[in-house]
Amino acid sequence: MIISIEIQVLDKIKNLKKGTLFFVESFLSIANAKAVNKALERLVEKESIIRVATGIYTRPKQSKLFGNITPTVEEIATAIAKRDKARIVPTGSYALNALGLSTQVPLKTVYLTDGAARKINLGKRTILFKKTTPKNLSAKGLISKLVIQALKSIGKGNINPEEERKILELLRKENPEYLRHDILLAPEWIRIIMRKTLQNE
């Protein structure tokens, strides 16, 4: 008996951890893109999986209180970057929020990337990937790369003493080797702020 493409796709999905994001490309070992896409659409109709955005799917985690738990913006962006073998860095309001410098959750999250520029619609929210230079993606530290983007969002001369205190406190948790490397990638006015962390060593 020939096992249908839909069953093969679903079997593979069931072997994935709940909450994992997947794409048509994830199943090209089973069939061609057109056939896989049709199988995924049927599985969405049967509510075996959900469509997160065009071409992006998941078998969601379940919560007794909230039902299906949809992936976060960060999880979606990371999955796309992994698929495309691209680097990404969050910018603006999202970087500020990630560092705890803002409680605002942006409806549009912007990532710099060396992959394809694109826009992903997630209902009322969007993810925008903007093409950038390699230098903007070369930071090694998870904290320091966010700090650089957050400070760019705040703008030169606009940082207040409390924001600076929080930033320096966060940078002290960064790997010193990564921090020294990443400081050299920042504009001079940002370097001056970041160097204060090293002065206290």
Q: Do 133 and 186 share a structural domain?
A: yes
Residue 1 above 50 pLDDT?
no
Are 118 and 62 in the same domain? no
Residues 38 and 61 occupy one common structural domain: yes
Taking the model in full, what pTM does it have?
Answer: 0.85
| 16-25 pLDDT tens trace | 999 999 999 9
Q: Tell me, yes or no, whether 166 and 199 share the same domain.
A: yes
Look up the CATH number of the domain holding residue 13: 1.10.10
Q: Which of 198, 178, 194 is nearest to 186 (CA)?
A: 194
Same domain for 80 and 64, yes or no, is no
2-6, 15-19, 92-96: which has the minimum mean pLDDT? 2-6
Query: What pLDDT was estimated at residue 201?
Result: 54
Q: What average pLDDT score do residues 156-185 get?
A: 95
Q: Rounded to whole angstroms, how far apart are CA atoms 144 and 186?
A: 10
Domain co-membership, 172 together with 141: yes
Domain around 186: 72-201
Question: Does the pLDDT at position 199 exceed 80?
Answer: no
Compute the average pLDDT of residues 146-161: 94
| Domain total of the chain | 2
